[in-house]
Amino acid sequence: MKTLRASDPGFDAGLKAMLSAKRAASVDVREAVSGILADVEKNGDAALIALTSRFDGFDLTPETLRVPPADLERAAACCAPETLAALKAAAARIADFHKKQIPADLDYVDSQGVRLGLRWKPMASAGLYVPGGLASYPSSVLMNAIPAKTAGVKRLVMASPTPGGDANPLVLAAAHVAGVDEVYRIGGAQAIAALAYGSQTITPVDMIAGPGNAYVAEAKRQVFGTVGIDMIAGPSEILVVADNLNAPSWIAADLLSQAEHAAAAQAILITDDADFADAVGAEAERILDQSPRAGIARESWRNNGCVIIVEDLAAAPAVIDLIDLIDAIAPEHLELAVDNAEALAGKVNNAGAIFLGRLTPEAIGDYVAGPSHVLPTAQSARFSSGLGVIDFMKRSSLIGCGADSLQAIGPDAVILAQAEGMDAHALSVSLRLGEENT
């Protein structure tokens, strides 16, 4: 695990090297993905069936591409009662939070008599990609589907790979709880192609959300424009700012909660106490020795983990430097396990989600807090936000002129159109102003 000290002369270079390191797979998948997309666009179901046989090892037919709705209900009924209750409790909290995000329409008449406004409408359909390989995440079904349903999306389509033909029952149960309308047994770039272009069995959607591997990410990148996408998601990451008043085991577990996602995940600790950092490292090793996902988490922790030692988390000058440091890292998840968490959070500009205080572990956000856990990674929190209701909506401008308001603002439009050499633009306004005759 790398250690950087803010007081060292080479700190800035070390931080830059850490942040610029490529953690995702460097293999160039563009050409392969382009071929898969073209195949599905041209051949539809036949391509989906052939690609599923090749990559997932089982045979489909047009009739078995879709998971029957009864299977979703049956999966929910077969869940352990406490698991189903937890899914429903999480779903209720997620829905409650996202209902508060629904934007209000805007409609007013300005001082010159022009009616202006905005109308928000949900997308008609959305696709949700849910990974189904090394791990399956029913929580991600809720975190993607519920914002869409809350926005008013009428048709929500889920695609998830089922290697060997076996669907994860918890994923199906989550789809049932979240109100997903259609579920298909396809994964990879071919699933993104089916959602974007459609097939004989699958009707295309307007937007695609959800994480996936390098092929899925590249496919989303290439179909953008045909459909909307939420974001290009990279490996998980967490930044924990913690003082020595925390239990080292708590902070170690928080760091490993992201490291266990994938070997390319990243966990960073910022503290002002080197002895505390050592204690956290020791606890991390102890937890790893007992973890079923130790192989993945240990590789992530040792290759990508980092401890940053700063001078004083509580001192005012250091706090300013700390904010600059946090904003430079722009983490997907930011835990502020310190006394002044609220004050620090108010200064942070770049973070996907901020967890306030010592009793708010990131895992609460992953499952039951309410905001979607689909968040910007790889420093993209500098310019993007986590998934929400607004991602499944679009707005239309409203503009209305009467005779007086057109007379008030129309002449300026004519002048600007003529300045741009757009004579028809100018004419369309001037005719209504009575300045030109047909």
- Do residues 152 and 389 touch, judged by C-beta distance below 8 A? no
Strand partners of residue 117: 107, 398
Only one residue has tokens 């008013």, namely 152
Reference 411, options 395, 393, 394, 432; nearest CA is 432
Catalytic residues: 332-333
Q: What is the pTM of this model?
A: 0.93
Q: Name which of 163-167, 235-239, 301-305, 351-355 the model is least confident about.
A: 163-167
Alpha helices in 1-80 (DSSP H): 11-20, 30-43, 45-56, 69-78
Does the pLDDT value for residue 26 go beyond 70? no
- Once rounded to an integer, what is the mean pLDDT over residues 69-83? 94
Q: What is the mean pLDDT of residues 253-258?
A: 96
Residue 99 has pLDDT above 60, yes or no: yes
Residue 222 pLDDT exceeds 80: yes
Per-residue pLDDT at 154: 97
Across the range 175-197, mean pLDDT stands at: 97
Query: Per residue in 292-348, pLDDT tens?
Result: 888 999 999 999 999 999 988 877 666 768 999 999 999 999 999 999 999 999 999
For residue 186, the number of C-alpha atoms closer than 13 Å in the C-beta half-sphere is: 33
Which pLDDT score, from 0 to 100, does residue 358 have?
Answer: 97
Domains of the chain: 2-22+234-369 (3.40.50.1980), 30-103+122-229 (3.40.50.1980), 401-433 (1.20.5.1300)
Q: What is the mean pLDDT of the chain?
A: 94
Q: pLDDT at position 270, please?
A: 96
Q: What is the mean pLDDT of residues 106-128?
A: 98
Rg (CA), the chain: 26
Q: Which helix (H) or strand (E) covers residue 405, if one does? A: helix 403-419
Rounded to an integer, the average pLDDT of 159-186 is 94
pLDDT range class, residue 438, cuts 50, 70, 90: very low
The residue-averaged pLDDT of 413-435 equals 96
> Which of 34-48, 79-93, 292-306 is the least confident region?
292-306
Among 232-236, 282-286, 367-371, 406-410, the minimum mean pLDDT is found in: 232-236
Q: With a cut of 70, say whether residue 398 has pLDDT above it.
A: yes
Beta strand 115-122 with 393-400 is: antiparallel
Quick check: 132 pLDDT over 90? no
Q: Is the pLDDT of residue 234 over 90?
A: no
Burial label for 346, CB within 10 Å (0-12, 13-18, 19+), is exposed
Confidence class of residue 21 from pLDDT cuts 50, 70 and 90?
confident
Q: What share of the chain is helix, strand, coil (3-state, %, to 5)?
A: 50, 15, 35
Rounded to an integer, the average pLDDT of 426-438 is: 83
Query: What is the predicted pLDDT for the residue at 40?
Result: 98
The residue among 398, 404, 406, 394 whose CA lies nearest residue 431 is 406
Range of weakest confidence among 24-28, 280-284, 307-311, 360-364: 24-28
Tokens encoding 273: 């106490």
